[in-house]
Structure 1
Amino acid sequence: MTTPMFDESEMRARAERARELMDAQGIDVLLATGDFSAGLNYYWFSGHQPRDYQLNFSRPHIMVLPRDGEPFLWIYNVNEQNARDLSWVADVVPYNPPFIGVDLAKELTARGFGDATIGAELGTDHRLAMPAAEFSSLVEALPDATFVDAGPLIWQLRMIKSDAELDYIRQADHINGEAHRLALARIKPGDSEVDVARAYGMAFVECGAVRPPYGQILVVSEAKSRALGHRARMMGPLAEFTLADGDLLFVDSGVVVEGYWGEFNRMGVVGDPTPAKVGHHDAIREIIRRAMAEALVPGRPFREIMEQMVGFALDLGYTRDHLAQYVGPPFFHLCHGIGLTSSEPPFVRMDSEDVLEPGMVLSVEAYIRADDVTFGSEEDVIITADGCDVFSDTDPGLIPIGVDR
């Protein structure tokens, strides 16, 4: 029998928190969905990971949580026993693929939910894990029911991490930190971005990542940063950009442990960096350090936190032009949540009056582009009752490439 990732008391506590919000918002039934690859909300509510080693975005898994009474799972039949082993939910209803929305509607009607207010993942930063046509058929087959967006409710729950969730994030951060050290020690002058990505992929596994995806690897060499800009990292590692003496390397990486992410970037350097490069990177680290020490206090609106972090950069001699992406549209964030994804709400942005709360886990990051190179640093923290605690290994500065530490 497979050991569940979370004990039943934790899962029932999640359900009770959800029911309190459902009651306040007039939601009778909550649908949390997943697919055969990764069911984030489904996993959070049920404790059952459908199957995370195969990228198959079909065959939905659904947890139906009533405001009153016990939940049930509506799942692809091959996962029936797996669900019974891993989930706290005793009522498991398997279906033979393909998923048919009308069939789920019949089950909901038989259980007395034919005229219920049903909350579904319809809003910002959510994905309903079923074919659009089948969701339409589900809605049409329940003409007396009302479907509403439960997205904000779900994020309100997921943004506050339990001790068990924090443990998995800590483990992921530890593996990511070890992978940074191991990979940067193996990289050498002349290596391409493809070589860097390969070194990191091997380091993830060697340092303990066992559950696909092993991690994210976003690579920016100084050559690419000068040629294409920092955001070109989204294009992936490119073989034509190689590391020369004095070059900087930016790697934003992350690792998954039992579905939970730890992710943060680090910068390396080939040989001796110029004083200017050291100065810019030290400045970024100082912004992050001061944010953790002074700005990240529960109860503060995100806008105030952003204004203070921008002020740290201005204190170091940078201008608002350096910070344009943060102080004006589209209002990029300086902190984002991490949990079941590597970037998720909350997003600490200048245009947000949302408030920082204990239990939130944030990736605290800052970037400044100077001399055609983007300098960045990032730390993962848990917000506590009076500040924050750091999960990641503190950024040591520009890390020598090819040096065994």
Structure 2
Amino acid sequence: MSTLPLVSPARGFEFAEFEQRTSQLQQYMHDQKIDAVFFTTEPEFRYFSGFKSQFWESPTRPWFLVVPSVGKPIAVVPEIGVAGFEQTWIDDVRSWPSPRPEDDGITLLAATLAEASTRSRRLGAMLGPETHLRMPAANFTALQHRLSQHDMVDVSLIVRNIRSIKSAAEIEKIRFACQVTAAGFDYLRHHLAIGMTEREACKAMHLEMLRLGADACPYLISASGQGGYDNIIMGPTDRVLNEGDVLIIDTGANFDGYFSDFDRNYGFGHVTPDTVDAYEAVYASTEAGLNIAAPGRTTGEVWQAMWSVLEEAGALGNDVGRMGHGLGMQLTEWPSNVPNGDVELKPGMILTLEPGMAFAPHRMMVHEENIAITESGCEMLHDRAWQQMPIIQ
């Protein structure tokens, strides 16, 4: 078990990075004749403004960021949040006394958008798959009514393309979150014992990751069962870990607003030969993904490389729907590694490789690693999983 201290990267970003992100978006807006875009959700708001606050946990108040076709973004926010923008590159901050359910910023947002949209009268919002509007449906209807002379178009494809390519500073934050997580998994390997519960195991790892420098660990799930598991999204539970069990822990630590997301498996006492075979198969499947993930390849090719290994190993199926995804400011981001996926991999993308197989009725094995696409291939962002399943006695 490594005892070397982990060194965290600098927090925040240079203002030049926000300028570059905004400039990219504005180029797309120019090409598609969009006068202004508005954002309502935390990742997009933070990505273009630098405003980072835990206040997003409260559902009481809406927050809006308007990006005009020229110039800096404009914050349209509750009065309680105005002071926080002194730490950002945003100069124009407009506010109202929220909460005010009868008009919670809608009049102010509509006026700001109308002011910024006098040419083509086309406005952009996140309206596509894997997105939502963080505002009441009635408020969005009211906004559309106030802007009835404007067309509202979806910009989610534009934004996800921009966000999918991480800067060097973003990659280092994700790398640190990954290294903390890997160290947490290694710590747990030496502190698990038969008789512990899933919840006790997860809590021990959670505390270790916080000690090592994670800001939070909002995603930490587990599953266990004799020789495997059949559900990987519900735990941890108070189930006691016994001889013959396999425990999976899948977790995402967060550092400065950026996530890790990968898992590890542990066996307890004696595990069955087919369980060992399944572990070796998902490990080899990940290796196939690592070997093919490179610029110019597609998400479908990555999926196929991994699935071919699992299929040859006798996989009964994979009901997860994908074998990995993008990673960054959110635990899961676009794109997904799916059959026939046509998203081309590019340098700067961060992906998870997550092969999983049902190898017997009600028994499955899942494996996950985090990688960055480089100019010539890919690189692991943390130590590779153990080639053989660790056995806890």
TM-score, normalised on structure 2? 0.90
Could you say what the CA RMSD is over the residues aligned between the two structures, in angstroms? 2.2
Measured after TM superposition, the shift of residue 336 of structure 1 is 0.5
Kindly report which structure 2 residues correspond to 1:33-112, keeping only aligned pairs within 5 A, or say none.
33-34=40-41, 39-51=42-54, 55-85=57-87, 87-98=88-99, 99-111=104-116
When residues 30 and 4 of structure 1 are mapped into structure 2, their CA distance, relative to the original with a 3 A threshold, is farther
- Provide runs of 4+ in structure 1 moved above 4 Å: 110-115
- Quote the residue 2:392 is aligned against: 401
Matched, 1:10 2:17: yes
Distance in 1 (CA, whole Å) between partners of 2:29 and 2:266 is 48
Deviations 1:352-382 (A, max 9, x none): 2222222110000111122443212111001
Matched, 1:343 2:332: yes
Distance in 1 (CA, whole Å) between partners of 2:127 and 2:204 is 39
Deviations 1:338-365 (A, max 9, x none): 1111111110111422222221100001
Distance in 2 (CA, whole Å) between partners of 1:64 and 1:4 is 25
- Quote the residue 1:264 is aligned against: 262
When residues 401 and 114 of structure 1 are mapped into structure 2, their CA distance, relative to the original with a 3 A threshold, is farther
Structure 1 unaligned blocks of 5 or more? 327-331
Deviations 1:219-250 (A, max 9, x none): 11124x86xx522x3222222x2211232111
- Quote the residue 2:182 is aligned against: 177
Helix, strand or coil: the match of 1:215? strand
Q: Is the 8 A contact 1:101 1:137 kept in 2?
A: yes
- Quote the residue 1:363 is aligned against: 352
Measured after TM superposition, the shift of residue 113 of structure 1 is 4.6
Distance in 2 (CA, whole Å) between partners of 1:27 and 1:112 is 8
- Quote the residue 2:3 is aligned against: none
Measured after TM superposition, the shift of residue 388 of structure 1 is 0.5
- Quote the residue 1:380 is aligned against: 370
Q: Is the 8 A contact 1:115 1:144 kept in 2?
A: no
Matched, 1:162 2:172: no
Distance in 2 (CA, whole Å) between partners of 1:73 and 1:234 is 36
Distance in 1 (CA, whole Å) between partners of 2:311 and 2:358 is 14
When residues 132 and 146 of structure 1 are mapped into structure 2, their CA distance, relative to the original with a 3 A threshold, is same
Measured after TM superposition, the shift of residue 59 of structure 1 is 1.4
When residues 246 and 112 of structure 1 are mapped into structure 2, their CA distance, relative to the original with a 3 A threshold, is closer
Helix, strand or coil: the match of 2:311? helix
Kindly report which structure 2 residues correspond to 1:154-303, keeping only aligned pairs within 5 A, or say none.
154-210=159-215, 212=216, 214-223=217-226, 230-231=230-231, 233-239=232-238, 241-293=239-291, 295-303=292-300
Distance in 2 (CA, whole Å) between partners of 1:369 and 1:108 is 51
Distance in 1 (CA, whole Å) between partners of 2:148 and 2:288 is 55
Matched, 1:22 2:29: yes
**Higher mean C-alpha displacement, 265-274 vs 334-343:** 265-274
Q: Is the 8 A contact 2:356 2:366 kept in 1?
A: yes
Distance in 2 (CA, whole Å) between partners of 1:114 and 1:25 is 12
Helix, strand or coil: the match of 2:260? strand
Distance in 1 (CA, whole Å) between partners of 2:220 and 2:96 is 37
2:300 is matched by which residue type in structure 1?
A: R
When residues 182 and 146 of structure 1 are mapped into structure 2, their CA distance, relative to the original with a 3 A threshold, is same
Deviations 1:306-328 (A, max 9, x none): 2232222234x325xx23547xx
Q: Is the 8 A contact 1:114 1:142 kept in 2?
A: no
1:234 is matched by which residue type in structure 2?
A: I
Distance in 1 (CA, whole Å) between partners of 2:170 and 2:196 is 37
Measured after TM superposition, the shift of residue 165 of structure 1 is 0.7
- Quote the residue 1:306 is aligned against: 303
Distance in 2 (CA, whole Å) between partners of 1:113 and 1:174 is 49
Measured after TM superposition, the shift of residue 41 of structure 1 is 0.7
Deviations 1:31-82 (A, max 9, x none): 1223xxxx11100111111325x72123122221111233211112222111
Structure 2 unaligned blocks of 5 or more? 1-9
Distance in 1 (CA, whole Å) between partners of 2:51 and 2:130 is 21
Q: Is the 8 A contact 2:64 2:109 kept in 1?
A: no
Distance in 1 (CA, whole Å) between partners of 2:324 and 2:53 is 30
Distance in 1 (CA, whole Å) between partners of 2:311 and 2:372 is 26
Deviations 1:231-289 (A, max 9, x none): 2x3222222x2211232111101101111101110011223444433222112111101
Distance in 2 (CA, whole Å) between partners of 1:80 and 1:100 is 14
Helix, strand or coil: the match of 1:102? helix
TM-score, normalised on structure 1? 0.87
Q: Is the 8 A contact 1:115 1:142 kept in 2?
A: no
- Quote the residue 2:317 is aligned against: 323
Measured after TM superposition, the shift of residue 144 of structure 1 is 1.3
- Quote the residue 1:329 is aligned against: none
